[in-house]
Amino acid sequence: MGPGLDMVGKRMTIRLHRAEGGYRDIVGVLESPTDLRKRDGSLAHFDPDDIAIWREIMAPVGRAGHGAPLSQRIREIEVVANETWPAKTQEQFGGWLLRSSGKFTMRANSVLPLGQPPYGEPGKSITEAISHVVDFYRGAKLTPVFHIPLPTYSELDTYLAEQGWTKKISADVMVADIDLSQIVSKPGWEIADSPTDEWLHVQEDFGVAEIMKSAPALYAALRIDSHLVAVGRAAIYENWSVFSRFFVKKEFRGQGFGRDLIRYLSRESILQGATKTMLQVDSANSVAIRLYENEGFRRHHSYVYRTLDALAESKDAC
């Protein structure tokens, strides 16, 4: 059933079945139960019987990464990222979240501070809290790791560095509002709500398949000559869509498929109610950062992972 007279004047996206198979999407303001006024002023006529799905596009409550104090926005975004990549085991330790999931992912095997700075309110002295962290991860046969959002917990980062914890990764968190003017439909793209073995094989993601499947998400893929050449994931949480696992095979790079993947998943995310997107990227990956910036993403904050190697731990014990 399509939108009724009560929806006239509302902005919406409508997905229509094609007679030859597949779908096409139209976006605009509904003028009647069979007509939609598009952004360029043209009128798109459609048969309500051809509708696969439709959704009203709600005005964003707030722009991505704007509105609240920076520390509060960072916390919101880090919580969203955690909810869309959930660890198998999570232990609340004061204002710290201890996560473990096996050896395949650093995010789901690290401590995330979420309390007030400077240290995130672990509920104990900083030395006692760190000792608990070390015991927690050693008990799980994992390397102790801190995931430190910056600049909120810069003092915690400095303290850990002084105690011999090694910086392993520095990443930027980038955010964007979904831009309807960039939503396009191109042939060859496929979408699913669960990763297939073929999708997982592209990046050998079998080790994190359980984590990915434990949160609602969309899995996009581009097929050329019966082979998947580009893939990406968009996990939906409230009005956020969190992009991850973007990959284009080397021989197909430089053809705009990365850009198309962003736009395709943005379109699909709107159909799930998302209005904002976010992603994490290695701070040293200038090529990817430039692509994301060209697609409207902007840097919101950064984070680092710090690990405790065996040498540093034995020195601390002396």
DSSP secondary structure code for residue 184 in this structure: -
Same domain, 89 and 148: yes
Same domain, 213 and 257: yes
What CATH number did the domain enclosing 230 receive? 3.40.630.30
CA distance 105 to 86: 11
Same domain, 157 and 187: no
Domain of 165 in residue numbering reads as 70-170+304-317
- In this structure, what are the phi and psi dihedrals at residue 58, rounded to the nearest 5 degrees? -80, 145
Question: Which phi-psi region, left, alpha or beta, contains residue 187 (left: φ > 0; alpha: ψ -120 to 50)?
Answer: beta
Same domain, 166 and 183: no
Same domain, 86 and 165: yes
| 290 assigned to some structural domain | no
Q: In Å, how far are 107, 149, 203 from 72, measured between CA atoms? A: 20, 12, 34
| 293 assigned to some structural domain | no
Q: Write down the pTM of the prediction.
A: 0.79
CA distance 156 to 102: 25
Same domain, 199 and 228: yes
Q: Render pLDDT for 167-200 as a digit per residue (tens, 0 to 9).
A: 999 999 999 998 766 565 677 899 999 999 999 9
| 296 assigned to some structural domain | no
Question: Which residue type occupies 13?
Answer: T
Tokens (6 digits) for 75: 């916390």
Contact 112, 100 (CB under 8 A): no
Terminal C-alpha separation, the chain: 71
Same domain, 165 and 313: yes
Same domain, 120 and 42: no
Q: CB neighbours (10 Å) of residue 186?
A: 11
Nearest alpha carbon to residue 301 among 80, 89, 1, 25: 80
Q: Is the dihedral of CA 174, 86, 169, 151 positive or negative?
A: positive
| 61 assigned to some structural domain | no
| 292 assigned to some structural domain | no
* Higher pLDDT, residue 60 or 26: 26
Tokens 């927690």 locate to: 136
| 90 assigned to some structural domain | yes
Least confident of 13-22, 149-158, 232-241: 13-22
Q: In Å, how far are 44, 119, 211, 215, 279 from 84, measured between CA atoms? A: 36, 24, 9, 6, 11
Q: Render pLDDT for 105-125 as a digit per residue (tens, 0 to 9).
A: 899 999 999 999 999 999 999
Position 306 scores a pLDDT of 98
Same domain, 99 and 116: yes
How far, rounded to the nearest angstrom, does the alpha carbon of residue 248 sit from its chain's CA centroid? 17
What CATH number did the domain enclosing 23 receive? 2.30.30
Q: Give the number of domains in the chain.
A: 3
Q: Render pLDDT for 219-230 as a digit per residue (tens, 0 to 9).
A: 999 999 999 999
* Higher pLDDT, residue 121 or 271: 121
| 251 assigned to some structural domain | yes
CA distance 78 to 83: 9
Same domain, 166 and 308: yes
Tokens (6 digits) for 151: 């600049």
